A and B are shown apart, each in its own frame.
Chain A
Amino acid sequence: MTSFSFGALLRRPEAGAALSLIAVAAFFVLFGGVKLGNFLGAASWLNFAANLGIVALPVGLLMIAGELDISIGAMIPAGSMSIAVVSGYYGQPILVGIAVSLGLGVVVGLVNGYLTIKTSVPSLIITLATLVAMQGLVLSASVLLTGNASVALAAPDWAKAVFGTLLGGSYQIIILWWVAMVGGYAFVIHMTPVGNWLFAMGGDKTSARNAGIQTDRMTVWLFVLSATSASFVGMCGAILFNSAQVSGGMNYIFNAIVSVVVGGVLLTGGFGSVIGILFGTLTFAVVNQGIYFTNIDRNWSSLIIGVMLLLAVLMNNSFRNMALSYSPKKKK
């Protein structure tokens, strides 16, 4: 990595995602009449990206490891409802609410993880089951305990400042959490041995285990991470908006998977990058929210996302093949 080379950049997992982001932004500027300056600073898509990104990161890491977690769709409302019920309805200290909310994420993550390693059932099916089960549990528990499907929460100032405030009037504080998490994940995944284990695991689980990597433990940890991240997002939402609903969250499943795949993570595992997932999330957010800034009718956004997903995946495929067939030029 001593000299700059365009080819080397293209062979990286995030190349496709970075190009999609540029292409989408250029498309909006050229055809949608967006002023780039206004758009870049807008809170709407940044807020959207941050909430999505915190969930997309661990989902992407799980995908690199060869697993899938869709129970995040139920864990977001579960996270917000549990803090609202404990601290709002029952009036417990906010710390207890936070602990219950994140603890629920840990428990569901452990269930997902252990079921995945102990059975040969694909994690897609296992987390589909926990997704549906958690939806039912959250709805019935909420109706049973509070008689309502929507619960109010008044968080103390310090909790609001940390988890749910608007900076500058419109930027959610969760953006900073997201930035910190991107930094943390990028360091661990790309700089430390743990990252190497993750890629080895996704590449060939048996060989990784034979090389002495505790693949089972890693799998459980990753599921705990994704479920807890989802309940964290739900919890921050409840603190910010002073209330929680049992519905919502289902969009996150597909949004997160699209972000991760656009971000260059290989669906079957073993390849991807944190920066790629970041670009994938940004691209998704720009299309989903940026459409409001254009003269384009908002109904087109899903079409754009579909086309973009396809193009990004095709691009990622060809870049990956470039990386595979790459060999340095023969020295004379």
Chain B
Amino acid sequence: MTHPVLELRNVNKSFGPIDVLHDISLSVKAGEVICLLGDNGAGKSTLIKTLAGVHKPTSGEMLMDGAPVSFARPKDAADRGIATVHQFGGTFPLMTIGRSFFVGVEPTKGFGPFKIFDRKTANAVAVKAVQEFGITRIDDGDRLIGGLSGGERQSLAIARALHFGARVLILDEPTAALGVKQASHVLRVVMEAKKRGVAVIFITHQVTHAMAVGDHFAVLIRGALAASFAKGEKSRDEITDLMAGGEALADLDAHLDDAAATVS
């Protein structure tokens, strides 16, 4: 366990003449949560897509367990245990919990041409997997995904990824569209994943959520790593300022103060 599960070394990515990622070096160990912070347009999505095998880095190295890897398709990354969970859970609103849990890897019973989808097993496994994460409200595998709350969908998607052996979990803004209570459910699921020794890459622009679960933080600005630090090294305000581009927010405060002074 000396090597990080996933590591990027000096990764650059450009689309034609446009450079999106500059010289990114990142690593995440098993049982560690690394929070990737950045404003809209900072290159977070491109970085996730590079990690998940959607894009190939223009230059630089990607390593898993210390050995260089290269993914041609998202499937390659998935086969190595890199799972991405998107903002809306990447699930199918009009399918049942059991069916959507096993899309592409359906359990069957019977033999030959009469192999049929094993609904009972699928439902039972799906419900059990998500309940292990403390989401006990999901108890019927025949319910439709669209009837679940946003937090339950996220939790289900994370449970699904771990059930199928994910070692690196990439969470793309999992709490962005959620209320306070729902978000705390998802954060609890992230902690549980961490406890199981999964390497988690948590993308967000909500500093509070990041500070609740993160062990390590990386701030992305205009495609470059602006800062990288461990838990407790920086305060909430400092992180927010970093994300907004350094002095920007302090400047804004000063302007607002000036404005207030002239009014009174």
* Segment of B142-150, B170-178, B211-219, B230-238 engaged in the interface with chain A: B142-150
B interface residue count range (under 10 / 10 to 19 / 20 to 34 / 35 or more): 20 to 34
Contact call B108/A210, Cβ cutoff below 8 A: no
Contacts of A295 in B (CB 8 A): none
Q: How far is the CB of B160 from chain A (nearest CB, A)?
A: 10
Residue A211, interface by CB 8 Å: yes
Majority secondary structure, A binding face? helix
Contacts of B140 in A (CB 8 A): 327-328
Contact call B99/A199, Cβ cutoff below 8 A: yes
Contact A210 to B147, CB < 8 A, known contacts A193-B106, A270-B93, A328-B139: no
Residue B74, interface by CB 8 Å: yes
* Segment of A68-76, A201-209, A280-288 engaged in the interface with chain B: A201-209
Contacts of B78 in A (CB 8 A): 210, 212
Q: Mark B30-62, 1 if CB is under 8 A from A, else 0.
A: 000000000000000000000000000000000
Q: Mark B86-122, 1 if CB is under 8 A from A, else 0.
A: 0000111111000110111110100000011100000
- State which of B104, B143, B146 has its C-beta within 8 Å of the C-beta of A211: B104
Q: How far is the CA of A129 from the CA of B74 in the complex (A)?
A: 34
Q: How far is the CA of A210 from the CA of B104 in the complex (A)?
A: 9
Contact A266 to B75, CB < 8 A, known contacts A192-B116, A328-B139: no
Contact call B147/A207, Cβ cutoff below 8 A: no
Contact call B93/A213, Cβ cutoff below 8 A: no
Q: How far is the CA of A327 from the CA of B146 in the complex (A)?
A: 11
Contact call A327/B147, Cβ cutoff below 8 A: yes
Contact call B117/A196, Cβ cutoff below 8 A: yes
Residue A103, interface by CB 8 Å: no
Contacts of A303 in B (CB 8 A): none
Contacts of B108 in A (CB 8 A): 192-193
Q: How far is the CA of A200 from the CA of B91 in the complex (A)?
A: 8
Contacts of B147 in A (CB 8 A): 323-327
Q: Mark A186-226, 1 if CB is under 8 A from B, else 0.
A: 00000111011101100110111111110000000000000
Q: How far is the CA of A320 from the CA of B139 in the complex (A)?
A: 21
Residue A271, interface by CB 8 Å: yes
Contacts of B74 in A (CB 8 A): 209-210
Q: How far is the CA of A328 from the CA of B141 in the complex (A)?
A: 11
Contact A323 to B144, CB < 8 A, known contacts A200-B103, A200-B104, A211-B104: yes
Contact call B94/A266, Cβ cutoff below 8 A: yes
Q: How far is the CA of A266 from the CA of B116 in the complex (A)?
A: 25
Contact call A200/B95, Cβ cutoff below 8 A: yes
Q: List CB contacts (< 8 Å) of B186-224 with chain A.
A: none
Contacts of B143 in A (CB 8 A): 326-328
Q: How far is the CA of A326 from the CA of B94 in the complex (A)?
A: 12
Q: How far is the CB of A318 from chain B (nearest CB, A)?
A: 14
Most interface-central of B90, B102, B104, B143 (chain A CB within 10 A): B104
Q: Nearest 7 CB-CB pairs, A to B? A: A203-B92, A193-B106, A211-B104, A212-B104, A271-B94, A191-B116, A200-B103
Listed by A's residue number, 16 A-B pairs whose Cβ atoms lie within 8 Å are A191-B116, A196-B95, A196-B99, A196-B117, A199-B95, A200-B100, A200-B103, A204-B92, A208-B103, A210-B74, A210-B84, A270-B92, A270-B94, A324-B94, A326-B147, A327-B140
B residues near A (Cβ < 8 Å) are: 74-75, 78, 84, 90-95, 99-100, 102-106, 108, 115-117, 139-140, 142-144, 146-147
> A200-B95, A210-B84 known; 15 other A-B pairs, CB under 8 Å?
A193-B115, A193-B117, A196-B102, A196-B106, A197-B103, A199-B99, A204-B92, A210-B78, A210-B90, A213-B103, A270-B92, A270-B95, A271-B94, A326-B144, A328-B140
